[in-house]
Structure 1
Amino acid sequence: MSEAVDALIVGAGPAGLMAAEALTAPGRSVVVAEAMPTPARKFLMAGKSGLNLTKNEPFGAFARRFAVGTGALPRTPGYLDEDESRFGPSEVMAWARGLGIELFTGSTGRVFPVGMKASPLLRAWLARLRAGGAELRTRWRWIGGGFRFDTPEGVRVIRPRVAVLALGGASWPRLGSDAAWVPWLKAEGVAVAPFRPANMGFRAAWSEPMARHFGTAVKGTALAAGGLVSRGEWVIGAKGIEGGGVYEISAALRDGAAGHVDLAPDLDHAALAARFAKAKGKLSLGNRLRRVLEDPVKVALLLEWGRPLPTDPADWAARAKALPLLHDGPMGLETAISSAGGVTWEAVADTQELRAMPGVFVAGEMLDWEAPTGGYLLTACLGSGLRAGRAAAARLAALDRC
């Protein structure tokens, strides 16, 4: 059984739903096919700890946090270009408020709904799409071979005039992003860069004394790698280190840059050395370090990663200010917040239309880009979906004129 529609969106995450919003118009048939039982599962998972929509900062600074292509210097993806089509932080905030969602900006510039949840925004968004005529079909899994889908009613075929693919990358496959689409696009001549974990933790083979600190948040440090510095919190886990502070420098660490931890970023070397000198005396080593660093977790890290241990105050201060961040490589894609890799930028036009598949556009994490957490990922997914949807709508309009 086959069905002709004006527009097909495959994937009902943020990028796919934004593409649907751009394509919905009176009299136009728009179908959104989603493999999972419910839409936007990864979006809802992100919202469990407070939905970070975007980062309220100047657009130029925002755009510089993106990297495009494996091993490439950071550059802005096309959908974040400084032009009339851009969809950056201010546009995201206006869009969310248009759905009736009240927002606030935290002390770090991160923007959240006042209710801190993703579900109210998603409900309002889906209601608006339904009112506009978009039809969401869940448990419709794309199986390649054109637009063939495995559905509860059997195999169905869609014949769209235009299509937007927004199937996600390769992280958190249990939420729907399993990259099963890669061989189908490659068979059509679309270049796809291998997927790698992004915004992920790093494995560490801890010594036995570290076990008492598993699950503990590390606060008041500065992590550095590849010219990037993060003051965010991070967590010591049984398998390694993770958390927002680590994710900000994870790409540099993954790509081979050496990492360091400053255990006292608000003190210079001289002031910290003076503290070490003052604490020197009959105290045990552990007690002396706790008096200086005022945090047992920092002491544990200094003893774990600081060997061979220094002997004089100046050397102790130097070690604490630039403690080597030792790890055994990144954790896997299955637990990464996002992924790098995907459809290469050479494989798409500026409109995100696949050069090898005219009329088919790509959005979201299927494309080869990466950015840190903190609102960057979601803003870029929304922006790329909007850009692809607008371009698909323009193609439809051109077809109508023919």
Structure 2
Amino acid sequence: MMAYYGDDHTTGAAFAHSVPNQTWLSSATLLQDKRVRRDVLEAAGVPVPRGRAFGLKRGLPFAREFAEEIGYPVVVKPMIGESTVEVIPAVEDARQLDHAVEYLRTVPTLRPDFTTSSYAFTQILTPKTGSSTRTRSTYRYLVEEHVSGQYVRLLLVEGELLSAVRAPRGPWQSDESAEDVTADLHPDLRAFATEVWKALPGLTVLMADIVVDDFRASLTEKNRAIVVDVSERPWLHLHRAASDALPLALAQRILETSSPVPLREDVGSSPIEATFRWDGLSQIDTDIDRATAAARALGAALTVSSADAVTGVVTGAVVGTPRAIALLNELLIEGDVLVSPAMCVETRPRTAPTA
């Protein structure tokens, strides 16, 4: 998403999969190599679980041996990939370990829990051939100690701690048991969050999952905070489980941090007229009908001025609140409305609203 003001393309905000443009690409990429990330955090004195990486080709016997050494239960996760994704927690024995590794033998794009970010190198995790369903033998995974305690997700923006959400069942089961504990977080943990931030420079947004015995108490040798996951993305689905209002408030703060122009609280509430251009549509007539119906459901009105079935380009105008138009854009890109997701959606207000 790119938003700019007037004709000055240098004045605005940009996000790729909710990662602000100010985040260094090298830092975002580093966080998706969990083995390197572990080393960087350890070098900065930030505790992480005991862990080791193994290859799919011949690594399983050594993975079993390591799991026995550190003691079950253990956690299995891809060595390279998005944080919190495809994490297999509470692996209790060798049989379950074998099962977890077998899951990873299926090529990532065919695994039900796999996600990929367009800005980093998760895209290289492809099979050897177009017809193969098996992961490359050079693929590696991590076996880590399963740390027990209270699971808390910390969200920082530009080094400022914005929220702390406790997830009793871990972030993989984001249900109603999640709760916002920001106000109850001990000052030691706030300082700890800052130390994690300093260890990983170049990030506008930092999400750090920690495990601690008591997040309300001071940190001691017995009440240690251990970082089990870090991401350059906010992953606000867990905050949604804690509070319907929390993700919107946090998203607003992230947007304000990335925007050079102050944002009014009431922005998006009054209808505007905007022109649009959609690229990469596969079935023009059906797509126009579906988009028109979706706009109507959002309280907006579409008028199509041109439609080229050869290039897959549709242009026209839309009238509605900026919020409704923005949501329509998201649905066109996300894939729930059109036959296939649009490749690009461009919207220009006829009269630029005050930021």
TM-score (norm 1): 0.23
More strand by share: 2
More helix by share: 1
Give the structure with higher Rg (CA).
1
TM-score (norm 2): 0.25
